[in-house]
Amino acid sequence: GAGVSQSPRYKVAKRGQDVALRCDPISGHVSLFWYQQALGQGPEFLTYFQNEAQLDKSGLPSDRFFAERPEGSVSTLKIQRTQQEDSAVYLCASSLRRDAYEQYFGPGTRLTVT
Amino acid sequence: GQQLNQSPQSMFIQEGEDVSMNCTSSSIFNTWLWYKQEPGEGPVLLIALYKAGELTSNGRLTAQFGITRKDSFLNISASIPSDVGIYFCAGRNVLQGAQKLVFGQGTRLTINP
């Protein structure tokens, strides 16, 4: 079946612009995660949804970052007033159940802030 | 943020050689996962480990969950060119109520044909 999809795959933004990154999880997956991956590093957790509820947003680096999953399926990560340090790959992952251990990742969105 | 200590950072080997890499943490985890990432793609799950001492294989890949629950190992036997990529360990401690994964810095594997 279809895996996790993300769009756009690449985004170039000028500093100060707002961006919105989309994630379509695997159909039926309850849990959805966003991670940020800087160049040469492992992914770092940003936020977690169980269905439409955002249960953990402890990894969001500032109040410029906002995520939503209004209907418990598609999720959007929004970054306001982008800064150069926001340049990274943003990865979305989903898992089948609340207590499922395996997370399946999408291809990511590479954000470059100029 | 918190990350696991993964070593080595990079490996340059000949095709056919065996590969070993490991991951250590100062915290206890009750789940260890190993992922492989290729350029321009997201991490792909290779092996999941759920119990201390568990040894699990997936083809030429074998991973172990350390007895102390603070480490894990991944071995690749008889490497082939398609094994090239970056391997990440990831840990999870659901007992602390955390669903998130904590990742290592990755081991970059390069294979000389």
What pLDDT, in 10s, does the model give residues A4-38? 999 999 999 999 999 999 999 999 999 999 999 99
CA of A50 to nearest chain B CA: how many angstroms apart? 10
A48-91 confidence digits (pLDDT tens) = 999 999 999 999 999 999 999 999 999 999 999 999 999 999 99
Q: Do A45 and B33 touch (CB under 8 A)?
A: no
How many C-beta neighbours within 10 Å does residue B46 have? Answer: 18
Which residues of chain B neighbour A54 with C-beta distances below 8 Å? none
Round to whole Å and give the CA distance between A112 and A69: 24
Q: How confident is the model at residue A39 (pLDDT cuts 50, 70, 90)?
A: very high
Sign of the Cα torsion B106, A55, A33, B36 reads: positive
Annotate A50-85 with DSSP letters as a single string: ETTEEEE-TT--STTEEEE-TTSS-EEEEESS--GG
B4-50 confidence digits (pLDDT tens) = 899 999 999 999 999 999 999 988 898 999 999 999 999 999 999 99
Instruction: Write the CB contacts of A54 (distance below 8 Å, at least 6 apart in sequence).
Output: A47, A48, A67, A68, A69
Residue keyed to tokens 């991956």? A37
Q: How confident is the model at residue B3 (pLDDT cuts 50, 70, 90)?
A: low
Q: Do A101 and B105 touch (CB under 8 A)?
A: no
Q: Do B103 and A44 touch (CB under 8 A)?
A: yes
Round to whole Å and give the CA distance between A46 and A54: 11
Round to whole Å and give the CA distance between B110 and A82: 35
Chain B contacts in chain A segment 61-100 (CB below 8 A):
91, 93, 98-99
Strand B71-76 with B61-65, pairing: antiparallel
